[in-house]
Amino acid sequence: MAPKSSIFYNAHHSPIGAFASFTLGAKGARGGLGIELPQPANHNVYIGLQSVDGEFIDMLPFYAGAGQDDPAARFQVEQVADEGIKEARTTVATPKLRAFHDSEISRELLACTDEWRAGDLVVRIISPVTPLPDPSISVVGAIKLAVLPAILVEVEVDNRINSDARKAIFGYVGADPYSAMRRLDDTMPGYAGVGQGTQTAIVAQSNDVGSALGFSVDDILAIDNPDNCKFGLGSTGLLTAIAAPGQISKFRFAVCFYRGGCVTAGLATSYLYTRYFQDIEEVASYALDHFEQLRVMAAGSDMRFAPAHLSQDQRWMLAHSVRSYYGSTQLLDSDGDPLWVVNEGEYRMMNTFDLTVDQLFFEMMLNPWTVRNVLDQFVERYSYEDDVTEPGSDAHHPGGMSFTHDMGIGNVFSRPGYSSYEKFGLRGCFSHMTHEQLVNWVLCATVYVEGTGDTNWCDRHLGVLQECLKSMVNRDDYRAEARNGVMSLESTRTSGGAEITTYDSLDESLGQARSNTYLAVKCWAAYVALHHILHKYGLGEVAAVAHRQAKLCAATIIAAARDDGQLPALLEGNHPSRIIPAIEGLIFPLHTGCSGILGTEGEFAQLAEVLRKHLRAVLIPGVCLFDDGGWKLSSTAKNSWLSKIYLCQHVARKVLNVNGDEVTKSADGAHVQWLQDEANGYWAWSDQMVAGVAMASRYYPRGVTSCLWLNEG
CA dist 519 → 12, 146, 557, 583 (Å): 32, 36, 11, 10
Neighbours of 290 (CB within 10 A): 18
130 vs 114: CA distance, rounded Å = 16
- Is 189 an interacting residue with respect to its own copies (CB under 8 A)? no
Q: How far is the CB of 231 from its own copies (least distance, A)?
A: 5
Residue whose CB is less far from its own copies, 206 or 595: 206
Residue closer to its own copies (CB basis): 425 or 463: 425
456 contributes a contact to its own copies by CB under 8 A: no
Q: Indicate which single residue of 389, 420, 509, 639 sits in contact with its own copies (rule: CB under 8 A).
A: 420
Nearer Cβ to its own copies, position 75 or 430? 430
Which residue among 244, 245, 313, 418 contacts its own copies (CB under 8 A)?
418
Beta bridge partners of 106: 117
Could you say which residues in the range 583-642 bind its own copies, by CB under 8 A? Answer: none
Of 191, 251, 273, 347, the one binding its own copies by CB under 8 A: 347
Strands of 611-706 (E only): list them: 639-641, 688-690, 693-696
Residues 425-454 that bind its own copies (CB under 8 A): 425, 430
| Side chain identity at residue 305, one-letter code | F
Pick from 28, 210, 260, 629 the residue near its own copies by CB under 8 A: 260
Cβ-based neighbour number of residue 333 at 10 Å:
17
221-240 footprint of its own copies as x/- string (CB under 8 A): ---xx-xx-xxxx-------
Q: Is 469 exposed, middle or buried (0-12, 13-18, 19+ CB in 10 A)?
A: buried
Cβ(471)–Cβ(400) below 8 Å: yes
Near its own copies by CB under 8 A, which window of 176-184, 326-334, 444-452, 454-462?
176-184
182 contacts its own copies (rule: CB under 8 A): yes
Query: Quick one: which segment of 220-228, 239-247, 500-508, 684-692 binds its own copies (CB under 8 A)?
Result: 220-228
Q: How far is the CB of 296 from its own copies (least distance, A)?
A: 32
* Contact status: 178 vs its own copies (CB under 8 A): yes
348 binds its own copies, rule: CB under 8 A: yes
Rounded Cα–Cα distance for residues 707 and 526 (Å): 22
Residues 479-518 that bind its own copies (CB under 8 A): 495
Q: How far is the CB of 189 from its own copies (least distance, A)?
A: 11
- Exactly one of 64, 140, 248, 262 binds its own copies (CB under 8 A); that residue is 262
Residue pair 354/501 in contact by the 8 Å Cβ criterion: yes
Nearest distance, CB of residue 285 and its own copies, angstroms: 15
Q: How many residues bind its own copies, per CB under 8 A? A: 51
For its own copies, the binding residue among 11, 33, 35, 615 (CB under 8 A) is 35
Nearer Cβ to its own copies (70/224): 224
Q: Which of 50, 414, 492, 635 binds its own copies (CB under 8 A)?
A: 414
Q: Please state, in angstroms and rounded to a whole number, the distance separating the CA atoms of residues 676 and 678.
A: 6
Distance, in Å, from the CA atom of 564 to the CA atom of 146, rounded to the nearest integer, reads: 52
- d(Cα 640, Cα 706) in Å, to the nearest integer? 16
Give the Cα separation of 117 and 100 in Å (integer): 10
- 37, 129, 468, 594: residue in contact with its own copies (rule CB under 8 A): 37
DSSP letter, residue 622: T
Q: Cα 521 vs. chain centroid, distance in angstroms?
A: 25
- First and final CA of the chain: distance in angstroms? 37
Report the nearest approach of its own copies to the CB of residue 299 (Å). 33
Distance between CA atoms of residues 669 and 671, nearest Å: 6
Q: Is 489 left (phi over 0), alpha (psi -120 to 50) or beta?
A: beta
Nearest to 196 by CA among 263, 257, 283: 257
Q: Can you give the binding site for its own copies, defined by CB under 8 A?
A: 35-37, 175, 177-182, 186-187, 195, 197-198, 224-225, 227-228, 230-233, 260-266, 268, 279, 347-349, 408-412, 414-415, 418-421, 423-425, 430, 495
